[in-house]
Amino acid sequence: MQQVELENFKKILLEKRQAILDNNLEHRKSMENMHDLSFDEADQVAMHMKNTLDSSIFTRHNTELEYIDSALNKIEQGVYGICEMCDEPIAKERLKAKPHAKYCIVCREIVEKNSKD
CB of 105 to Zn ion, least distance (A): 8
Nearest residue (CB) to Zn ion, 17 versus 81: 81
Stretch touching Zn ion by CB under 5 A, among 9-17, 28-36, 40-48, 83-91 = 83-91
Binding Zn ion (rule: CB under 5 A), the pick from 20, 85, 91, 111 is 85
CB of 41 to Zn ion, least distance (A): 39
> Per CB under 5 A, does 107 bind Zn ion?
yes
Phi, psi (5° rounding) for residue 59? -60, -45
CB of 113 to Zn ion, least distance (A): 14
Residue 90 CA to residue 82 CA, distance in Å, equals 6
Kindly determine how many residues on this chain lie close enough to bind Zn ion according to the rule CB under 5 A. Answer: 5
Q: Are 72 and 13 in contact (CB under 8 A)?
A: yes
List of residues contacting Zn ion (CB under 5 A):
83, 85-86, 104, 107
